[in-house]
């Protein structure tokens, strides 16, 4: 046969789980968006509609809810538990990836909560032997109102951008960092530490380009967090253009800006610790 | 002629303005989304394309940026200034409405900021004589994990909902409150006070229905804020359904929930102070 | 008591219903988003949490599905049937509004469909005595690449916009038209006719402003559809800016445009037939 | 040094271009969303803020507009032209990826257009030597109202899903197909042909699982389009749940469905022609 099945995977995306823990002195909530993806010996399903090796995506959803009954723990642990379950108990499944987004809430009062911005993420992959854990943040929106320059860039005949030694630098950080080990980590401490380093590096770096800021953020995380071996960052450059007020006989000394939607720059990069273990399935 | 022009208005929607104030000891930012709407003697534009009475929407945008050069102040003041300008200086314009959304940022370091959730709003209307000011919040997402019941409701042949004496109550508050006066208010203090009362009432109210919570929230604001005369609330009931874990031989004592997207309940209501002045254009 | 409940309403928003009709020679689908809103004697629910007058929003959703069992018919008829049911059978309910969005699908083959753009809408209000029917379209995105001018407008010190005698005019039409009668209409024929007139008027009108185009569109509908008495239009001006290619030693004779997101103009207006019956609750 | 820069790339995302071609007998429009991504010797920018090798993303945007002056041609050709330009004329750039989304419009009248659903895509990668071209469609929403079964699947203790021999199968097709050659293709004919085969396969396949439908769609494209060597599909399973009307003493013989938002199944797979050339950078 001259046509064949290549790589494939399937799963249940965006199972929305809210877990309440009812302590006498105050409730806790865990608000998650869980996506599970499985791969393995699924050729029969694709080629002849034989579903005997297919664990339904509905079952994957059920498993998320059933496992939550005992508590989720940190999202890295919950993802590990789910990934191992799917691979270890389903005969056809060779690999599982579980990605979890955790939304942020702040408690006020005994059982009342207000939603905050900032999403914590975890992506676990497991192949029956080894697991890898990637933690991260999504949509962490930050801005520096000065301390950012951009000049000395390559110019060609289509370049009209003026050089600047003072601009706004704003981005929505999507960052993921790979753990060296998948076991016995203090995931919460690690997450707080890495996120704090990202923010501090963003604030501290006098930036000559968003690329430089990106590298500084990734490097800072690795310098301070020994448990991590690789950081991947995706940083949209959310352009803020100084408005020309001269038609109104006004100057504009870096005060009035237009926040543009599209297009936007998109800077993506990786910072790695030398000797980091092979990522294996981590970024699958 | 048997067909005629009825009510009409026009303006510039969603002018995105970021204003930086560069204090020596730390920057400040004001991040706004400004929409201006004008109405007046605009029949000629509609009927024969005579634009002599039309102030271009592009000019409205320019005005937002030019006025920001002197600082915006609180959004209520900025909206008042813009609304009065458009009506008082454009011969054909009889009414202006300016709606501003202000996004929340928290400063960390000298000139670095991180975005927070929660949007502050102001809507000002002005007709050449009187102005009205409505302040508010948008997308303030809150949840109570207990203290909410729903029973004793009207049943008909299509009613299947079980009664409950313990459910999650979650909503994204959209609230607007009308000020008695349009002048000399401490808008910031008023906004903080009203928002705080909304949150406290949400947390404190043992709820027998979202309608009851809505009324309690509006009433609390009016009880504590003498400068306000009317509160309008729009509260989507963000349903959280208890997951049936019995197929897995698990109980679920109010711990594991599915957060649903659609459909959702939508509860809307108004709480008014007796003797409140006529709203006039306030809710136009 | 010095604080009281004002206007209020509640309902179930965005009940997603897909109705399949299985004809032997080919299936039909009706894909709807139904929002129901009720108002009446609901003070007890707000003030003391007495829900005896509250028909749960869950029941409203059930009713939508149960009524669909017999077929929906045209969305105006389905909305009328639902609105009358809620008011006529629920003791506390005095008014109902039912808004339906219908998504467009094209059949290919016996039971296969592909989704099209363009949303048909209907909004019915009923107060126990009279019903009003408003039909419409939403998000009908259209563009004229010439035949649009904008000049002769009012200029003030903040006006910088150059006059133009040839621009792109693009908008996402949101239009609603009120029927004179709520009974015995051929809703489908009316909808096709009105939508066709809107599109033809958009194409035929040499435009001196979007206001002029708006009026032409509304007037055209009323001229050709005797069953309609009022048209309301909301037209965002989706700006397309000619790109300045002169830095690259290129001209740009109306060929290369930047399609901007924000800000956008927003033109809203009403065209009415003289002697139209009072709208009553139609635009509630 | 123990920490180093890994993979990185940067570019301008979502440059919105509308190109008008003014034929005497009727205008044509090309409505594009262009994202350019470059990679190469960019370590200096990251490590020390030396931008001498960075072609600004603003310049990339300018290039898109300037190149459009001569016409875009088919999006595959436009992407090839841009990708080659960036690599061949920028000393530091070794690879370029250009992704273009083309939105669909239908002309009515001489210069009037109405927007349709369905997005055509092209992704070109070029490394200074070889180019690869991937074409595709995005958000092509389709539904079969019968002819879909799902049974015989693997069951574990978390499986509750009933087997079915008649369900709705609905998805939003995201498909991409790789061309064997990057030159001298009739891109438009290829796109129409491949899209038509996808739709026909969706309609014709009696489906025992969405996986089977996925494979049938990909295989059909390769059977009929000799110029293509690989098809990748991502198919969300947009669940439509039969509503239980029995509480209302109604049956529901496959007629009334609830269209759910989340969670959804997500089925992804590849179909390849044996002997297909190495993809190289195609899926970078």
Chain C residues with beta carbon closer than 8 angstroms to that of A161? none
Q: What is the pLDDT of residues C57-91, one digit of tens each?
A: 999 999 999 999 999 999 999 999 999 999 999 99
Average pLDDT value over all residues in chain D: 97
Read off the tokens for C249: 């030693």
**Residues in contact with C85: Cβ distance below 8 Å, sequence separation at least 6, in sequence order:** C63, C67
Q: Tell me: pLDDT of A281 over 90.
A: no
Q: Could you give the residue numbers annotated as active site of D?
A: 12, 57, 239
Q: Tell me: pLDDT of D1 over 60.
A: no
How high is the pLDDT of residue B284? 77
Give yes or no for a contact between A22 and A9, defined as CB atoms under 8 angstroms apart: no
C-alpha B58/C-alpha C260 separation (Å) is 13
Q: Is A222 helix (H, G, I), strand (E, B) or coil?
A: helix
Q: What is the pLDDT of residues C93-104, one digit of tens each?
A: 999 999 999 999
How high is the pLDDT of residue A105? 98
Q: Which of B223, A247, B154, B126 is nearest to C1 (CA)?
A: B223
Q: Cβ–Cβ contacts within 10 Å for residue A143, how many?
A: 25
Residue ranges of chain A assigned to CATH 3.10.270.10? 1-129, 137-284
Percent with pLDDT over 70 in chain A:
100
Q: Could you say which DSSP state residue A277 is in? A: P
Read off the tokens for C122: 């209907």
Chain C residues with beta carbon closer than 8 angstroms to that of B55? 153-154, 156, 159
Q: Is A247 helix (H, G, I), strand (E, B) or coil?
A: helix
- For residue B247, name the pLDDT band (cuts at 50, 70, 90): very high
> Which of C203, C204, C250 lies closest to D66 in CB terms?
C250
Residue ranges of chain B assigned to CATH 3.10.270.10? 8-125, 130-284
Does residue C239 carry a catalytic annotation?
yes
Q: What is the pLDDT of residues D212-245, one digit of tens each?
A: 999 999 999 999 999 999 999 999 999 999 999 9
CB contact under 8 A, B153 and C89: no
Q: Is B242 helix (H, G, I), strand (E, B) or coil?
A: strand
**Residues in contact with C190: Cβ distance below 8 Å, sequence separation at least 6, in sequence order:** C135, C179, C225, C227, C228
Which of these is catalytic: A27, A57, A119, A240?
A57
Give chain A's end-to-end CA distance (angstroms, integer).
29
Q: Residue D236's beta-bridge partner residues?
A: D266
H/E stretch holding A187 reads helix A187-204
Integer CA distances (angstroms), B109 to A201, A205, A216, in order: 11, 12, 17
Integer CA distances (angstroms), B169 to A109, B142, B165, C54, in order: 15, 8, 12, 17
Which of these is catalytic: A179, A191, A238, A239?
A239
Q: With the CA atoms of A178, A181, A182 and A185 taken in that order, what torsion angle do they form, in degrees rounded to the nearest 10? A: -100
- In the predicted model, what is the mean pLDDT of residues C31-52? 98
- For residue D27, name the pLDDT band (cuts at 50, 70, 90): very high
CB contact under 8 A, A5 and D271: yes
Q: Tell me: pLDDT of B1 over 80.
A: no
Q: Which of D150, C224, C177 is nearest to A10 (CA)?
A: D150
Which residues 117-136 of A have a C-beta within 8 angstroms of B?
Answer: 117
C66 has a chain B CB within 8 A of its CB: yes
Q: Tell me: pLDDT of B123 over 70.
A: yes
How high is the pLDDT of residue B57? 98
Percent of residues in chain D assigned helix, strand, coil, to nearest 5: 25, 45, 35
C-alpha C29/C-alpha C109 separation (Å) is 13
Which of these is catalytic: C27, C57, C145, C224?
C57
Complex prediction ipTM: 0.97
Pick the CATH number of C130-284 from 3.40.50.720, 3.10.270.10, 3.20.20.140, 3.40.720.10: 3.10.270.10
CA distance to partner chain C, nearest, from residue A11 (Å): 24
Q: Which of B89, B81, B176 is nearest to B131 (CA)?
A: B81
A31 has a chain B CB within 8 A of its CB: yes
Q: How far is CA A202 from the centre of its chain?
A: 17
CA distance to partner chain A, nearest, from residue D245 (Å): 22
How high is the pLDDT of residue C143? 98
Q: What is the pLDDT of residues C121-179, one digit of tens each?
A: 999 999 999 999 999 999 999 999 999 999 999 999 999 999 999 999 999 999 999 99
Q: How many residues does chain A have?
A: 284
CB contact under 8 A, D113 and C254: no
Q: Which of C108, A65, C225 is nearest to D204 (CA)?
A: C108
- The CATH superfamily of D132-284 is Urate Oxidase; (3.10.270.10)
Q: Tell me: pLDDT of A1 over 70.
A: no
B203 has a chain A CB within 8 A of its CB: yes
D234 has a chain A CB within 8 A of its CB: no
How high is the pLDDT of residue C284? 77
CB contact under 8 A, C160 and A261: no
How high is the pLDDT of residue D281? 87
- Closest residue in B to D157 (Cα) is B248
DSSP chain C: --EEEEEEEEEEEEEEEEEEEEETTEEEEEEEEEEEEEEES-HHHHHH---TT---HHHHHHHHHHHHTT---SHHHHHHHHHHHHHHH-TTEEEEEEEEEEEEEEE-SSSEEEEEEEEEEEEEEE-SS-EEEEEEEEEEEEEESSSB-B-S----TT--PPPBSS--EEEEEEEEEEES-SSS--HHHHHHHHHHHHHHHHHH--BSSHHHHHHHHHHHHHHH-TTEEEEEEEEEE--EEEP--GGGT---SS-EEEE--SSEEEEEEEEEETTPPP-TTTT-
How high is the pLDDT of residue B281? 87
Q: Residue C158's beta-bridge partner residues?
A: none
C283 has a chain D CB within 8 A of its CB: no
Residue ranges of chain D assigned to CATH 3.10.270.10? 1-129, 132-284
Percent with pLDDT over 90 in chain D:
98
Q: Which CATH architecture has domain B8-125?
A: Roll (3.10)
Asked if residue B263 has a cis previous peptide bond (ω within 30° of 0), the answer is yes
Q: What is the pLDDT of residues B144-193, one digit of tens each?
A: 999 999 999 999 999 999 999 999 999 999 999 999 999 889 999 999 99
CB contact under 8 A, C46 and B214: yes
C-alpha B242/C-alpha B148 separation (Å) is 14
Q: Cβ–Cβ contacts within 10 Å for residue A144, how many?
A: 24
Percent with pLDDT over 90 in chain B:
98
Chain D residues with beta carbon closer than 8 angstroms to that of A55? 153-154, 156, 159
Q: Tell me: pLDDT of C1 over 80.
A: no
One-letter-per-residue 3-state SS of C40-76? ECCHHHHHHCCCCCCCCHHHHHHHHHHHHCCCCCCHH
Chain D residues with beta carbon closer than 8 angstroms to that of A176? none
> Which of A1, A45, A267 lies closest to D211 in CB terms?
A45
How high is the pLDDT of residue C275? 94
CA distance to partner chain B, nearest, from residue C4 (Å): 5
- For residue D184, name the pLDDT band (cuts at 50, 70, 90): confident
Q: What is the pLDDT of residues D119-137, one digit of tens each?
A: 999 999 999 999 999 999 9
C-alpha D17/C-alpha C257 separation (Å) is 6
Q: Tell me: pLDDT of B102 over 70.
A: yes
- For residue D284, name the pLDDT band (cuts at 50, 70, 90): confident
Task: Find the helix packing angle between B75-89 and B57-68, rounded to 10°.
Answer: 130
Q: Which of A145, A163, A227 is nearest to B20 (CA)?
A: A145
Give yes or no for a contact between C188 and C74, defined as CB atoms under 8 angstroms apart: yes
CB contact under 8 A, C9 and B268: yes
Q: What is the pLDDT of residues C217-256, one digit of tens each?
A: 999 999 999 999 999 999 999 999 999 999 999 999 999 9
B48 has a chain C CB within 8 A of its CB: yes
- For residue D165, name the pLDDT band (cuts at 50, 70, 90): very high
Q: How far is CA A65 from the centre of its chain?
A: 23
Q: Residue D153's beta-bridge partner residues?
A: none
- The CATH superfamily of A137-284 is Urate Oxidase; (3.10.270.10)
Chain D residues with beta carbon closer than 8 angstroms to that of C260? 16
How high is the pLDDT of residue A14? 98
Residue ranges of chain C assigned to CATH 3.10.270.10? 1-128, 130-284
Which residues 76-115 of A have a C-beta within 8 angstroms of D?
Answer: 89-92
Q: How far is CA B234 from the centre of its chain?
A: 9
CA distance to partner chain C, nearest, from residue D283 (Å): 28
- For residue A284, name the pLDDT band (cuts at 50, 70, 90): confident
Beta strands of A46-181 (E only): which ranges? 93-107, 112-126, 131-144, 169-179
C-alpha dihedral sign at C250, C251, C256, C257: positive
- In the predicted model, what is the mean pLDDT of residues C249-270? 98
CB contact under 8 A, D273 and A3: yes
Integer CA distances (angstroms), C180 to B212, C94, C101, C278, in order: 38, 22, 21, 10
How high is the pLDDT of residue A184? 86
How high is the pLDDT of residue C117? 93
C-alpha C139/C-alpha C126 separation (Å) is 26
- For residue D272, name the pLDDT band (cuts at 50, 70, 90): very high
Q: Residue A11's beta-bridge partner residues?
A: A37, D266
D244 has a chain C CB within 8 A of its CB: no
Q: Was domain D1-129 assigned CATH 3.10.270.10?
A: yes
Give chain D's end-to-end CA distance (angstroms, integer).
29
Chain C residues with beta carbon closer than 8 angstroms to that of B152? 50-52
Q: What pTM does this model have?
A: 0.98
Which residues 139-198 of C have a C-beta within 8 angstroms of D?
Answer: 140-147, 168
CA distance to partner chain D, nearest, from residue A150 (Å): 8
Q: Which of B97, B12, B15, B1 is nearest to B43 (CA)?
A: B1
How high is the pLDDT of residue C281? 87
∠ Cα A30 A35 A40 (to 5°): 140
- In the predicted model, what is the mean pLDDT of residues D63-68? 98
Give yes or no for a contact between C102 and C120, defined as CB atoms under 8 angstroms apart: yes
C-alpha B210/C-alpha B212 separation (Å) is 5
How high is the pLDDT of residue A59? 98
Read off the tokens for A162: 């003026």
Q: Could you say which DSSP state residue D164 is in? A: B
Residue range C1-128 forms a domain whose CATH class is: alpha beta
How high is the pLDDT of residue C86? 98
Q: Could you say which DSSP state residue A32 is in? A: E
C-alpha D254/C-alpha C191 separation (Å) is 29
C66 has a chain D CB within 8 A of its CB: yes
Give yes or no for a contact between C128 and C88, defined as CB atoms under 8 angstroms apart: yes
């Amino acid at each position: 046969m001259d046509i064949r099945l290549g790589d494939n995977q399937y799963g249940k995306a965006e199972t929305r789980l809210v877990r309440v823990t009812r302590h006498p002195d105050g409730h806790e909530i865990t608000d998650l968006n869980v996506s599970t993806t499985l791969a393995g010996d699924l050729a029969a399903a694709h080629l002849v509609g034989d579903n005997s090796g297919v664990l339904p995506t509905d079952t994957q959803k059920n498993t998320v809810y059933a496992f939550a009954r005992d508590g989720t723990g940190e999202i890295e642990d919950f993802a590990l538990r789910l990934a191992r379950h799917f691979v270890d108990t389903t005969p056809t499944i060779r690999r599982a990836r579980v990605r979890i987004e955790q939304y942020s809430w702040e408690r006020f009062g005994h059982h009342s909560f207000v939603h905050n911005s900032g999403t914590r993420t975890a992506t676990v992959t497991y192949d029956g032997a080894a697991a890898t854990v990637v933690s991260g943040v999504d949509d962490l929106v930050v801005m520096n109102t000065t301390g950012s320059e951009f000049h000395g860039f390559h110019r060609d005949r289509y370049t009209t951008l003026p050089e600047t030694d003072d601009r706004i630098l704003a981005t929505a950080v999507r960052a993921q960092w790979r753990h060296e080990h998948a076991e016995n980590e203090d995931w919460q401490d690690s997450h707080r530490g890495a996120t704090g380093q990202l923010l501090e590096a963003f604030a501290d770096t006098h930036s000559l380009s968003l690329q430089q800021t990106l590298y500084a953020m990734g490097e800072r995380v690795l310098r301070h967090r020994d448990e991590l071996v690789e950081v991947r960052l995706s940083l949209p450059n959310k352009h803020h253009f100084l408005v020309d007020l001269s038609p109104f006989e006004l100057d504009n000394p870096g005060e009035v800006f237009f926040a543009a939607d599209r297009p936007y720059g998109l800077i993506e990069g990786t910072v790695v610790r030398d000797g980091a273990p092979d990522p294996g399935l981590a970024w699958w």
